[in-house]
Amino acid sequence: MIVINIQWYPGHMVKTKKIIRENLKLIDIVFEVADARAPLSTHLPDIDSLIGNKDVIMILSKADLADKEITDLWIKYFKEQGIRAIAVDMLRKSGFKKLQGVIRNFKKKTILRATRCMVIGAPNVGKSSLINQMAGRKSARIANTPGVTRSKMWLKVDEGLELLDTPGILWPKFEDKATGIKLALLGCIKQEILNFEQLSAILLEYLLKHYPQNLESRYKIGSDLASTEILEQIAQNRGFLVSGGVLDLERSAKTLITEFRQGILGKISLEKPEEKGGLWTEISNQDNV
């Protein structure tokens, strides 16, 4: 397996962090959105330096795409660290009752004015979707590409609640290679810099180990195949060919990753709390190529 070292920290993220800091004095509560399929890898490790001691609620988004049992383990894990985490599915609006309960508690502290809440997190984790759903109308801009929400955006839900959407942020250097890979797999990294074939090989190794059934039923392949053979098989089954009848493995790789991201492969989580060993540790311990 080729280990890839992904880093992405464009200048607009530095600017966004400045905007977040400047708005902090207006804010009563922060919602940090992380992807339920990899809450630690998509969580902002520098959040404390960014928001000081403001109250934070951790929103585990895209719960509909994650392995439910593992998401429950994450909620428990965060609770043990003194962090309130709520799993939500923005599309079906599940988990919103809990969220509204939290906001109601806060409203008691700000009776003379609206409670102000800032939503922060990595690109593509669902910040704008959360705001749209809470506001009950489609006013915040939503996009599928990382880094599209460019300017700060306040949204008034009602007299009692105002929300601030922010563009996605990452950090200057990912803790380890596995973190960069998981962020890339979940669509938090600019697509243009990714090598999908390498990325898909890693995803396949993970799926073969933890979710072989999902692969078998989606692509009608035996789980005894190696990852490159699976890409070949997908290309063959779907007629992905480039000129000269050569199999288009790049297209297979993109298909696999897209279908994983959209939940077509099933409910799949990429990490578990306090996992020791395994593929991600192995990847992070390998030297660069």
Size of the site for ligand GDP (CB under 6 A): 20
**Residue 27 falls in which region: left (phi positive, over 0), alpha (psi -120 to 50) or beta:** beta
Instruction: List the single partner that 16 binds among Mg ion, ligand GDP, none, CB under 5 to 8 Å by kind.
Output: none
Q: Report phi then psi at 108, rounded to 5.
A: -60, -30
The verdict on 149 binding Mg ion (CB under 5 A) reads yes
The verdict on 32 binding ligand GDP (CB under 6 A) reads no
For residue 93, the minimal CB distance to Mg ion (Å) is 18
For residue 100, the minimal CB distance to Mg ion (Å) is 21
Paired tokens of 8 = 């992405």
Instruction: List the single partner that 41 binds among Mg ion, ligand GDP, none, CB under 5 to 8 Å by kind.
Output: none
Bridge partners of 115, per DSSP, are 161
Helix (H) or strand (E) holding 154: strand 153-158
- Over the window 152 to 191, marking each residue x when it contacts ligand GDP by CB under 6 A and - when it does not, the resulting string is ----------------x-----------------------
- CA dist 271 and 275 (Å) reads 8
Instruction: List the one residue from 1, 26, 91, 226 that touches ligand GDP (CB under 6 A).
Output: 91
Report how far Cα 54 is from the mean position of its chain's Cα atoms: 23
Decide if 250 contacts 169 (C-beta within 8 A).
no
Instruction: List the one residue from 28, 67, 89, 162 that touches ligand GDP (CB under 6 A).
Output: 89
- Over the window 104 to 123, marking each residue x when it contacts ligand GDP by CB under 6 A and - when it does not, the resulting string is -----------------x-x
Q: Report phi then psi at 241, rounded to 5.
A: -130, 145
Owner of token pair 């009608």? 220
Instruction: List the one residue from 41, 61, 115, 128 that touches Mg ion (CB under 5 A).
Output: 128
The verdict on 65 binding ligand GDP (CB under 6 A) reads yes
Instruction: List the one residue from 129, 214, 227, 252 that touches ligand GDP (CB under 6 A).
Output: 129
Owner of token pair 């998981």? 182
Instruction: List the single partner that 53 binds among ligand GDP, Mg ion, none, CB under 5 to 8 Å by kind.
Output: none
Burial class of residue 273 in the structure, from the number of CB atoms within 10 Å of its CB (0-12 exposed, 13-18 middle, 19+ buried):
middle
Decide if 168 contacts 143 (C-beta within 8 A).
no
Paired tokens of 210 = 């933890």
For residue 3, the minimal CB distance to ligand GDP (Å) is 27
Helix axes 249-261, 196-210, angle to 10 degrees: 60
The verdict on 43 binding ligand GDP (CB under 6 A) reads no
For residue 65, the minimal CB distance to Mg ion (Å) is 18
Contact residues: Mg ion, CB under 5 A: 127-128, 149
Applying CB under 6 A, which residues contact ligand GDP? 61-62, 64-65, 89-91, 121, 123-129, 142-144, 149, 168
